[in-house]
Chain A
C-alpha cells in the first residue's frame, strides 16, 4: 500500500475523462439507433412501359459514373418476355444466357413441384458491358421471366445507381437504401454502375449501402432479385472487393458492344418506327459512319444511345432543312438525306 499521489489523482481523472468521452462518442446522434427505419422520402417515378426494342434504341448517351439518374420504377413488361428477348438486335450470347437461366429455373421449379431436391440457384446477376448495350432492357425482360416462373411476385424493375442509394450525411444511407429495396420487393432491383459504390469520394457511405444491400438480400432472399451492372473490369473488381458480394453474385452476363451493322439495324428500326426513310446516299453514308464510329470508339461509346442521338440529330437537321421549303410533300417529310446524316454525324461526334 502506498500514499495516494497527486500524479495518480491526475492520471485517474484523465482515465475517467477518457471513458466519459468514449461514452459520449458511442452515443447516438439522434438517440434512435435501435431500430433504424426508413425516414427519408425517396422519389420513385412510375415510368411508362416501353417495348423492349424501343428501350434498346432509346437509351441516352451517359458516359460515366458522374451521370446520375433518379430512381425509376417500371411495371413488369407485357407480352411474352421470350419474344421480347428474341426481338432484340444482336446480343446473341446474352439471349442464350438468359434462355439457359430461364430453363434452369423452370426445371428447378418442376423438380420442386415433384418433391425432388434442388441445387441452390442464384437469381442475382452481374450485367457487365459498356453503356447502351441493352443491360436495362434485358433486366426488364428477366424480371418478367422470373415473374412468369414464380420466382418473383410482380416482376417490376426498380432502376437506380449510386446517387439513389447513398445519403449525403451520416445516417441517411441505410434508410435511403432500405427504402429503394422496399420499393423493389417482388421485383428486380437494378443498380447501374454499381462499382461506383466502392469508389471513395469524400464523405463516402458506399460501404454502408453495400452492407445494407447484402443484409436485405439475405432477409428478403425469396422476394428480391438484384442485378448490378457496369463496365466489365470495374464490375469484376466491385464483386471481388467484398466476400458478401462475391458469394451472392456468381452469374455474370457480358453485354458486348454492338457492331456497326447492328447499330445500323437499330437506326433503321427507329427510323421505321417514326415514319422516316433514308435515301440511298444517306443510307450508304450512315452505314459507313456507324462502322467508323465503332472502329474509333472509346470505352465511353454509347452504342444504342449513340444511335438514338444520331437519329434525333438527323431529324432535327431534316426539320431545319425543310423549314425553308413551302408545303413540303409527304415524301419530303419522310426523307432523311445525306446532308441530314452528315450534319447529324458531325454534331454527335462533337
Chain B
C-alpha cells in the first residue's frame, strides 16, 4: 500500500512537470531521446488553457517527490525501529531542504523559495509525528 502510494505521489509530481513546466528541463531531453516527446507535447497542448498557481507548479512537485520517497522507503524499512525508519526516511527530504538552503545562501544555482522548503519538509514532519 505504501509502495503504491509512493509511486502515485511520484507520478503526480511528474505529471505536473510534464504538463506545466518549461521544456528546458533535463527530463524533456530524456523524453526526446526515448521518442516520447511528441506524446508529451500533445499532453501539454491539452492543458494549454489551464493555469495553476505557481506554488502548485513550482513547489508542490518537490513535496510530492519527498512524500513519494518516504512512502517507498518505508515500505522497505517499515518493520524496523522508529529511529531506523526516521533515518532512512530523512535522506531525500534533508537533501531537498539542504539544497534549498544552499540556494538561499547562493551556494547552489537556482531560486530559493520558502514554499519549496515547506513542501520538502512537511511530509517528513508528518511522518515523524505519526509513526
Contacts and interface: CB of A to CB of B under 8 A. Distances in A.
Contacts of B80: 1-2, 4
Classify chain B's interface size: 35 or more
Contacts of A204: 37-38, 41
**Which of A2, A29, A174 has the largest count of B CB atoms less than 10 A from its CB?**
A29
**Which of A12, A36, A206 has the largest count of B CB atoms less than 10 A from its CB?**
A12
Classify chain A's interface size: 35 or more
A170 B24 contact: yes
Interface in B104-119: 109-111
A27 B79 contact: no
Interface stretch (A15-23, A63-71, A284-292, A311-319): A15-23
A45 interface: no
Contact of B41 (A8, A12, A33, A211): A211
A243 B46 contact: yes
A12 B76 contact: yes
Given A15-B72, A203-B37, A211-B41, A25 B27 contact: yes
A122 interface: no
Nearest to A215: B48
Given A8-B76, A27-B25, A218 B49 contact: yes
Contacts of A211: 41, 44-45, 48
Contacts of B29: 29, 170
Main secondary structure of the interface of B (DSSP, over half): helix
Contact of B48 (A19, A30, A33, A214): A214
Contacts of A174: 22-23
Contacts of A256: none
A23 B68 CA distance: 12
B57 to A, nearest CB: 9
Given A12-B77, A218-B49, A31 B110 contact: yes
**Which of B28, B45, B68, B95 has the largest count of A CB atoms less than 10 A from its CB?**
B45
Given A1-B80, A15-B76, A170-B29, A33 B42 contact: no
A349 interface: no
Interface string A56-93: 00000000000000000000000000000000000000
**Which of B22, B96, B111 has the largest count of A CB atoms less than 10 A from its CB?**
B22
A15 B22 contact: no
A34 interface: yes
Interface string B40-78: 111011101100000000100100010011001100110
A258 B91 CA distance: 71
B48 A210 contact: yes
A171 B46 CA distance: 19
B32 to A, nearest CB: 6
A154 interface: no
B86 to A, nearest CB: 13
A218 B42 CA distance: 18
A212 B92 CA distance: 34
B12 to A, nearest CB: 13
B38 A200 contact: yes
Main secondary structure of the interface of A (DSSP, over half): helix
B17 interface: yes
B45 to A, nearest CB: 5
A116 interface: no
A36 B22 CA distance: 7
Given A2-B80, A207-B45, A214-B45, A15 B38 contact: no
B81 interface: yes
B124 to A, nearest CB: 13
Given A19-B65, A26-B17, A170 B28 contact: yes
B76 A30 contact: no
Contacts of A32: 24
A303 interface: no
B113 to A, nearest CB: 9
Contacts of B38: 200, 204, 206-207
20 contacts: A16-B69, A19-B68, A22-B65, A23-B65, A23-B95, A26-B17, A27-B26, A29-B24, A36-B24, A200-B38, A203-B37, A205-B37, A210-B45, A210-B48, A211-B41, A211-B44, A242-B45, A242-B46, A243-B46, A244-B48
Q: Which 8 A-B pairs have the closest CB atoms?
A: A207-B41, A33-B22, A171-B24, A214-B48, A25-B27, A211-B48, A211-B45, A31-B109
